[in-house]
Amino acid sequence: MRSASPIPAHFAPLFSRTTLRTAGLLGALGSLLAACGDFSTAWIDAPPPAMNTVMWLALGDFVTFLAPKAHHELLIGHYLGVFFIPLNVLGLWHVYLALAPRSGRAALLFIGAGTFLAAVGGAFHGTVGLAVTAVRAGDATTLAQAADYFEPFGWILTVFGGVVFIALAVLIGAGRSVLPRWMALLSPALTQTWFTLAAPALPQPVGVLLLVTGFNVSVCLFLLVSTAVLWRHDPMAGIS
């Protein structure tokens, strides 16, 4: 006698091939639009304060760098980020479906940590335009007080995000997913590292573009490749 599926029928659509594909594509779209938000908020054809991906962790230097940005550019970037970064949660579900068959609880830990990261990342993105606007209209005291909110937030987000996506690379590289092991090289933490290393050697406009949009572009790239690789994969295969 055939055993019943361990997944109740009303939950089955969450684990379907269509959901795997759709979640990956919508997550990639969210990351792409978030990268457009980064571009609108922070791209300037000028030397950044430091040629690295965490230049926003020093608010004074970052505000000086963004001084030429028009108010409408900050607004566009603000709304693109806060409304579309949450779509990354769908991308996380796509990754969970790739991890779950071979990683078990580690997959649950990843989607929990990743969802927290998406929420915090959207909130942080929403502070950039506000902080820049406040500091432009203020003085040294305003800058110091704004930095108390902004800089620790940025540090926590940067370190936590690095840990989450390095862990993803380790899981994939160790064969604890249905993705091919070479996909570990496209983990957002590693791709952003490649962007950081390449930026100084590229023309300034391109280098700055990679720095200010690098994280979201990395997530978009990973999800697009993962969706293509798993296009014919059935998450329910082997479940009886």
CA distance 196 to 209: 11
Q: Which phi and psi (to 5°) does residue 28 adopt?
A: -65, -40
pLDDT higher than threshold 90 for residue 116: yes
Instruction: Indicate the burial class of 42 (C-beta count within 10 angstroms; 0-12, 13-18, 19 or more).
Output: buried
**Quick one: which of 28, 35, 39 has its CA closest to 89?**
28
Q: Which phi and psi (to 5°) does residue 111 adopt?
A: -70, -30
Q: Are 64 and 152 in contact (CB under 8 A)?
A: no
pLDDT higher than threshold 70 for residue 55: no
CA distance 72 to 224: 30
pLDDT, tens only, 200-229:
889 988 988 998 899 999 999 999 999 999
**pLDDT in the model for residue 230:** 96
**Quick one: which of 94, 158, 95 has its CA closest to 125?**
158
Give the predicted TM-score (pTM) of the model.
0.89
pLDDT higher than threshold 60 for residue 239: no
Q: What is the mean pLDDT of residues 42-62?
A: 67
**pLDDT in the model for residue 144:** 78
Residue 53 — very low, low, confident or very high, per pLDDT cuts 50/70/90?
A: very low
pLDDT, tens only, 14-25:
888 999 999 999
The residue ranges of every structural domain in the chain are 25-225
Q: What is the percent of the chain with per-residue pLDDT over 70, rounded to a whole number?
A: 91
**pLDDT in the model for residue 184:** 96
Across all residues in the chain, what is the average pLDDT? 86
Q: What is the percent of the chain with per-residue pLDDT over 90, rounded to a whole number?
A: 50
pLDDT, tens only, 120-162:
999 888 888 887 887 777 667 777 787 888 888 888 888 899 9
**pLDDT in the model for residue 1:** 39
pLDDT higher than threshold 80 for residue 9: no
